[in-house]
A = this chain, B = another copy of it.
Amino acid sequence: MEPIVDIIDILGTIAFAISGVITATKKRMDLFGILIVATVTSVGGGTLRDLLIGKSPVTWLLNTTFVYTILVSTVVGVIFRKQLHYVRKSLFLFDTIGIALYTITGVQMGLLIDLNPVICVALGTITACFGGVIRDILCNEIPVIFRKEIYASACILGGVVYIGLIHLGVTAGLTAVMAGITVVVVRTLAVVYELQLPSIYTQAEREQNN
């Protein structure tokens, strides 16, 4: 693994862990609970992917860098939890880079074991998104990405770009960069312009919900 990828991977882990700390402290969890939620947010997506494809032991058991990064992020996140909104933009950047990288890793691992391209895109999306899904379930919430995030769509598009470029014969390195940029750009545009998936509900249905 290239040093630059290592650094991005760690930034992603930090961003996910901090998002776990934010959700867990809102629920007034104790330190242990916060640590667990930070951990599943960071490693949950990759763990689910590893289980589905049969990679064992799962990745984070084999590399303590993840555990230590999460531990430090959690402690720092808890101490500075009131200041976290000052670094909201940096966190958004890390988080977006994190899901881009996780998407690519997931797609690549699917291709390595010769899975169908559609399944590979699903694996990339699971890797990027299911840490957050498990986080929300542990916090007794309906997963936020099921309701208002364009997040998952950015990962799906990134995965499709990856598969497409590889099929066109583009090198793996350039493909990864282009797919990553796709995720980052789509997600950033979505947040800047407040894009959401088109609502399937009529006005009447939405009011009924309120």
Chain A interface residues toward B at CB < 8 A: 24-25, 27-34, 36-37, 47, 51-54, 56-58, 61-62, 64, 67-68, 78, 110, 113, 115-116, 118-119, 122-123, 133, 137-143, 145-148, 152-153, 196-201, 205-206, 209
- Mostly, the A contact residues are helix
On whether the beta carbons of A51 and B51 are closer than 8 Å, the reply is: yes
Q: Does B206 lie within 8 Å of A28, measured CB to CB?
A: yes
Would you call B64 and A119 a contact (CB within 8 A)? yes
| B56–A54 CB distance below 8 A | yes
C-alpha spacing A201/B24, complex, angstroms: 12
* Residue from A36, A58, A110, A206 with most neighbouring chain B CB atoms (10 Å): A36
Q: A140 to B138, Cβ gap below 8 A?
A: no
Q: Name the residue on B nearest A58 (C-beta).
A: B52
Distance (Å) between the CB of A154 and the closest chain B CB?
11
Taking a contact as CB atoms closer than 8 A, the residue among B57, B115, B142, B205 that contacts A115 in the complex is B57
CB A64 to nearest CB in B, in angstroms, measures 5
CB distance from A143 to the nearest CB of B (A): 7
Question: Chain B residues with Cβ under 8 A from A201's Cβ?
Answer: 25, 28
Q: Is the CB of A61 within 8 A of B148?
A: no
